[in-house]
Amino acid sequence: MSENKSETMKAITQTDLDDPRSLKLADVDIPALKPGEVLVKVAAAGVNRADLVQAQGNYPPPQGESDIIGLECAGTIVDAGDTGREVGEEVGCLLAGGGYAEYVAVPEGQLVPVPQGFSLTDTASIVEVATTVWSNVGMLAGLKEGDRVLIHGGGGGIGSFAIQMCKAMGAEVATTAGSQEKLEHARELGADILINYKEESFVEKLKGSCDVILDIIGGPYLEDNVRSLAMDGTLVVIAVQGGPKGTLPVARMMPRRQSVHATTLRARPVEQKSEICASTVEHVWPLIEQGKIRTTIDRTLPLADAAQAHELLDSGKVTGKLVLEVAGD
């Protein structure tokens, strides 16, 4: 690290673990680099729903990882460690934690390039969602051109990205949301079939036609999701906003050869995350650079306003992503 930088930095810490509103800017040590890591000066950090769960004490960081919140950011390499990368390079970063800070240590394999035409703020808004959606819909479920995919929560950050990515891959996209405004947003992003879950049943509308389903609701949707799968269909659950358990109609699945996968990106080892980052850059970055996937940022806030950002996201009134911006020196 260069000599003219202090050993401390500003980062968001939680003074009262029982109160998510106690997220406050504080002085903490700049993280030390482990082998294979670079130090990135953060310009912008994306806000994810998992961050809210962590602030509520229910999603602790993987062992050995930063206890600072923040799963993605973008910025500039200021110390390349032993990696041979260039100091000064602008990068996006997939993180196990630590994004809500001025500096973060990142394994080299979890760095992604800034897509052509994207700012650092744009980049910080898509790293986590792009790797999450591609690793599940592309790498795991193997979505193909002409498939029908159901994306729950079309108004959220994951849903907004997934709709565009699946359309760009040539799939037919069905999506659910809880308001006409969110569905209108989903339609603008390319969704073909719009379902207001407060007004109609997705299982009745889709009638077992979906090759792939990307779900964030979990338990309560499990049986209806399986009933919405086509022959050889794949359900991937990546969040359980509705509840941790549900009923699985396994006899129904047998003649249809269906499967249910549940994953998180954050708990994966560095090797898997690095493989996912490389595959995402190979398959998804071109779609971004061709303008087929835009980022949808609801608004940006200063890093110091992390608590407010969490309250906003929790209100359910956000369409697209929230990004925290870190002031320059």
Cβ proximity of 160 and 189 under 8 Å: yes
**DSSP state letter for 212:** E
Q: Binding of its own copies at residue 49 (CB under 8 A)? A: no
**DSSP state letter for 30:** P
Q: Which is nearer to its own copies, 76 or 263 (CB)?
A: 263
Which range in 23-31, 74-82, 114-122, 258-266 contacts its own copies by CB under 8 A?
258-266
Count CA atoms closer than 13 A to 183's CA, side-chain side: 15
Q: Which is nearer to its own copies, 21 or 257 (CB)?
A: 257
Cβ proximity of 14 and 289 under 8 Å: no
Cβ proximity of 58 and 20 under 8 Å: no
Rounded Cα–Cα distance for residues 82 and 85 (Å): 8
Tokens of 19: 């109160």
Contacts 24+ apart (CB under 8 A), 62-67: 62/96, 62/97, 62/266, 62/267, 65/96, 65/97, 65/98, 66/31, 66/95, 66/96, 66/97, 66/98, 66/104, 66/105, 67/97
Q: Binding of its own copies at residue 257 (CB under 8 A)? A: yes
Which range in 107-115, 177-185, 246-254, 296-304 contacts its own copies by CB under 8 A?
246-254
Q: Binding of its own copies at residue 317 (CB under 8 A)? A: no
Which range in 69-77, 149-157, 161-169, 214-222 contacts its own copies by CB under 8 A?
214-222
Q: Binding of its own copies at residue 249 (CB under 8 A)? A: yes
Question: Residues 262 to 291: which contact its own copies by CB under 8 A?
Answer: 262-264, 267-268
Which range in 145-153, 172-180, 186-194, 254-262 contacts its own copies by CB under 8 A?
254-262
Beta carbon of residue 46, minimum distance to its own copies (angstroms, whole number)? 20
Beta carbon of residue 134, minimum distance to its own copies (angstroms, whole number)? 16
* H or E segment and range at residue 204: helix 202-206
Q: Which is nearer to its own copies, 1 or 262 (CB)?
A: 262
Q: Binding of its own copies at residue 222 (CB under 8 A)? A: yes
Tell me the number of residues near its own copies by CB under 8 A: 31
Which range in 120-128, 167-175, 184-192, 238-246 contacts its own copies by CB under 8 A?
238-246
Q: Binding of its own copies at residue 255 (CB under 8 A)? A: yes
Tokens 């999450």 belong to which residue? Answer: 132
Contacts with its own copies by CB under 8 A lie at 218-219, 222-223, 237-240, 244-264, 267-268
